[in-house]
Each structure stands twice: as C-alpha cells, then as structure tokens.
Amino acid sequence: MNRKLSYSLAILAASVLLAVPRGARAQYCPSYTPAISNCGINPVSGVNPTTAEWQQIFTKVGGGKASWGTAGPDISTMGSGCGKPTPSTQVPAHFPCDVLFAIAYQESGWNQFCKPTTPSSQVGQPVRTIVSFDCGYGVGQVTSGMHKGETPSFDRARVAAETTYNLATGTRILRDKWAATGCVGDNLPEVIEHYYYALWAYNGIAYSNNPNNPNKKAGRAVYNPAKDSGSQTSWTYQERLFGMVEYPSGGRWRSQALAYPNRANISTAAGNTTTKLADTPEPTCASPTDCATRRGVHRSQCIAAPVTDAGTIVDSGGLRDSAIDATSPDATVDYPGGPFPIETPADERQSSGCSCEIPLADGGASAGMIVSGIALLLRVFRRQRRTS
C-alpha cells in the first residue's frame, strides 16, 4: 500500500494543469495501464460505495480476517501489549476503523474508482480503478506487489476491482509496520494513538516524518484539513492522519481528539547505535507540540472489546455498522490492566516550570463566590424576618 494519491498521483496532472489560471482548481484522477506504465494490472470499471457503505467496509476490514472472511486476503497475527502493563502476546490482526478512515481519506479521498484525467491518453475513458504513476491501486493505494513481474500472495486483480479486498490488502502493510516499530504506550491494537509509529512507517520511516524535524511548523496545532491542507507538509504524515480523525471531512466519521506522544521522547539521533524507533511512553499531549494541555488515549469506536488471545476476536459482534454517531461524546476508555488517563478539558493547561504556581482564580470564579455569598446572606435575612 502506498500513500500518495492525493498528492503524488496528481503530479503528472499538475503539469497539465499548470496552464490553469491562478486559483483555478480541478479534480484529478490518474489511471495508468500496463501498456503505458510499469503497473501489472489493468484498471477495471466500477462504482464507488456510498459513504454509509464505506463506513461498513471500514468496520469490516478493521475487524481483520475473522470479520472480512473471503472478502480479503490472509493476514498474520500481530503483537498486543508491551508489558506496560499488558503482557506481550500475539493476537489476530485487527485495526481501529478510525485509522482506516483517515488513511483512506488521505490516500484517495475514499475513492476506488474515478474518471481518468491523466495520463492524457486515458482522458475520456469511463470511470475505473485509480492507478497512480507509481502503481498505487484504488482506495488504499496498494503498490506492493502491483508492478509488472511481481507475484504477491494476494489476488492482484481483486485489489484493482474490489474495495474491501483492496483495503484489507492495505492493512497487511499496516500490520507489518506495527510489527517492525517500537511500542507506543502499551502497544494495544485497539488503541488509536498506539498506531503513531506504524503510521509514520506506513509513509516511510524518514526524518521528514520526525516531529522534531526543524522544517515542520513551530507550535503547530492539531492538523485540520479544512484549513491546513494547503500547507500540509508542515505536519508529519502521522500528525495529518491524527488530525483527520479529529476533524472528519464532511462529517464522514466521528471526531476523536487524539493524544500525541511527547516529541521530547522521540529521538533518533541521540547517540543511538540503532536507527530503530525506540519505545515511547503513552501519548498524553493535546497537539503535536502542546504537552501543557493533556489528553487521554482512545480505543477505536469500532472495537467493542479487546482481543485477548490468538484465537478469536472477543465480542466482534460489537462492531458498529454504518451509523456513526457524530454527536456522541468523545470516549476515553478503560482497557484490561487499568484505565487510560482521564481526559482533561481542552482548556486545562498544566502549570509549567518550577514555579509550580496555583493558578489564580479568574474573574468568573471571584464573581461566583460573591454572588453565592450574597445569596446565602439574603436567605438568612429573609428567614430571620419571617421568624420575627
């Protein structure tokens, strides 16, 4: 699975679009064929699911093989727990649908098919599979195994033709990244924030996605695609996906205000003898750069109960269908081994520095005290007048 439809695929379109006047915009849709590229499979005609259907697909794929059955390829087990405190075990692969929502939106805008606008030889063809110039196919932009001469262990034709199969194939990559990177917190597959490293790796474990990269914007708040997409490279890939979970495009999924790891705990250049991403503590920061305000971590809205062993998914019947409640409160949840930190109000900034001040009560507090006091006094006077 590879990344980039929203941007990289549009690059060739960009050369065509350069003649467009300032500010003009155009939809774009690459659809390369084996005849004109190194891609191994022909795009096929199809119809994109509706938003409600997409949500069902994401939920199904998030449940893993037990959920998608023959609609997707086989997938290996994945690690769960990092001894903090959950013991490390292997469990059937399963993924937060919240993560899948964001990946698929970043990669393809939730589209498996589109009407080709590039390359020029394909313009005018009917709606068919998105195929980028680097052979990223469909909603998940699956590239691995999709080039000429490659023989992966999944069905390439189904990657091009079927949305569920495409997305499920993409989660195999995510599972491999999960396995290859260090623990985030207790490393539980059902906790969205614990995918911070896996998502970084999903886009390539490069310094360009290091939150301490000096080219990223200082003091950047949570990424919000509605206002920040034009400068999205000021955020790392995984920060963008976290922001998308918090700011769902067009209300397509339920907003969850995710916690971010403290950047001070993410060093890849501190005299390490390895370049692997080392374990990092439980994320608690309210934005990529703000750890003064704290947040708790979140379990996926699609996974009703944690997976406990390598056998079956416990209570997979709790997976939600398409009805995503956009208004329900943002849940911070418990998990075996102890509760996640209670999420503090968004405006609760921790007193910082060694001065350790108790915050001054604001004007509202003092006014409240005065009003309450006067009310109590009046009540006493009234009672006394009545009794006299």
- Give phi and psi for 315, each to the nearest 5: 60, 45
Sole binder of other proteins in the list 47, 323, 342, 360 (CB under 8 A): 360
Q: Which range touches other proteins (CB under 8 A), out of 31-39, 52-60, 152-160, 350-358?
A: 350-358
CB of 273 to other proteins, least distance (A): 8
Please list, residue by residue across 94-108, b when 16 or more beta carbons sit within 10 angstroms of its beta carbon and e when fewer do. Answer: bbbbbbbbbbbbbbb
Burial class (CB in 10 A: 0-12, 13-18, 19+), 268: middle
Q: Does 126 bind other proteins (CB under 8 A)?
A: no
CB of 128 to other proteins, least distance (A): 19
Q: Does 326 bind other proteins (CB under 8 A)?
A: no
Beta strands in 103-231 (DSSP E): 113-114, 128-129
Pick the closer one to other proteins by CB: 231 or 308: 231
Dist. CA 41–CA 115, nearest whole Å: 17
Q: Does 345 bind other proteins (CB under 8 A)?
A: no
Site for other proteins in 20-59 (CB under 8 A): 20, 22-23, 25-28
Dist. CA 226–CA 59, nearest whole Å: 25
Pick the closer one to other proteins by CB: 35 or 354: 354
Dist. CA 107–CA 170, nearest whole Å: 11
Spatial contact of 283 and 183, defined as CB atoms under 8 Å apart: no
304: tokens are 């009703």
Q: Does 328 bind other proteins (CB under 8 A)?
A: no
Site for other proteins in 291-320 (CB under 8 A): 291-292
Site for other proteins in 60-89 (CB under 8 A): none
In sequence order, what DSSP letters do the residues of 232-264 get, joined into one string?
GGGS-HHHHHHHHHHS-GGG-S------B--GG
Dist. CA 258–CA 280, nearest whole Å: 16
Pick the closer one to other proteins by CB: 222 or 307: 222
What is the x/- site pattern for other proteins, positions 159-198, by CB under 8 A?
-----------------x---xx-----------------
Dist. CA 339–CA 350, nearest whole Å: 21
CB of 69 to other proteins, least distance (A): 29
Size of the site for other proteins (CB under 8 A): 102
Sole binder of other proteins in the list 1, 13, 61, 307 (CB under 8 A): 13
* Rounded alpha-carbon distances, angstroms, from residue 325 to 241, 252, 322, 330: 20, 10, 9, 10
Pick the closer one to other proteins by CB: 250 or 329: 250
Site for other proteins in 211-240 (CB under 8 A): 212-222, 224-227, 229-234
CB of 265 to other proteins, least distance (A): 8
Closest C-alpha among 122, 143, 113 to residue 45? 113
CB of 12 to other proteins, least distance (A): 9
Sole binder of other proteins in the list 70, 151, 327, 384 (CB under 8 A): 384
Dist. CA 96–CA 174, nearest whole Å: 11
CB of 362 to other proteins, least distance (A): 7
Q: Does 123 bind other proteins (CB under 8 A)?
A: no
Closest C-alpha among 81, 65, 126 to residue 338? 81
Pick the closer one to other proteins by CB: 11 or 314: 11
Site for other proteins in 231-290 (CB under 8 A): 231-234, 249-250, 263-265, 267-277, 287, 289-290
Q: How far is CA 242 from the centre of its chain?
A: 5
Pick the closer one to other proteins by CB: 45 or 231: 231
Dist. CA 176–CA 93, nearest whole Å: 10
Pick the closer one to other proteins by CB: 86 or 289: 289
